Structures are given as structure tokens and as C-alpha cells.
């Protein structure tokens, strides 16, 4: 998808991460798998998408 954007607009000026999730942890410590899943969507995916956008292979 990013290649089509660069083809049409030549650049991406801003990225908005609108894919965050937030399971209901209440006041308890979340299970490790739930925490990992939340972190993956909210942080890891954002970092990798930025890496794709900022790569030299546009």
C-alpha cells in the first residue's frame, strides 16, 4: 500500500496510529500473553510500519 501512496503523492508527511487496543486489565496484573498481544499491536506494529515508510526502497 505504501508504494501506491508514494507513487501518487511522493511522500508521507504524517502517520497516525489508530490501531491501538486496550483490554480491560482492571487493577490486576494482566496475563503475559494478553500483555504481549497488546504491546505488539500498540508498539511493535507501529515501529515496523514506520520502518517500512522510512526505508529507502520506496
Reading the chain (58 residues) residue by residue, the pLDDT tens digits are: 778 888 898 888 888 877 778 776 666 777 888 888 888 888 888 888 888 888 755 5
**Cell representation of residue 22:** 486496550
**Cell representation of residue 17:** 496510529
How much is the pLDDT for 25?
Answer: 63
Handedness of CA 6, 45, 55, 17 (dihedral sign): positive
14's torsion region: left (phi>0), alpha (psi -120 to 50) or beta?
Answer: beta
**Cell representation of residue 46:** 507501529
Side-chain half-sphere exposure of 5, counting CA atoms within 13 A: 11
Amino acid at each position: 500500500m505504501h508504494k501506491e501512496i508514494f507513487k501518487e503523492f511522493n511522500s508521507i508527511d504524517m502517520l497516525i496510529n489508530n490501531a491501538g487496543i486496550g483490554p480491560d486489565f482492571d487493577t490486576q496484573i494482566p496475563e503475559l500473553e494478553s500483555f504481549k498481544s497488546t504491546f505488539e499491536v500498540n508498539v511493535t506494529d507501529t515501529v515496523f510500519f514506520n520502518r517500512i515508510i522510512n526505508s529507502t526502497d520506496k
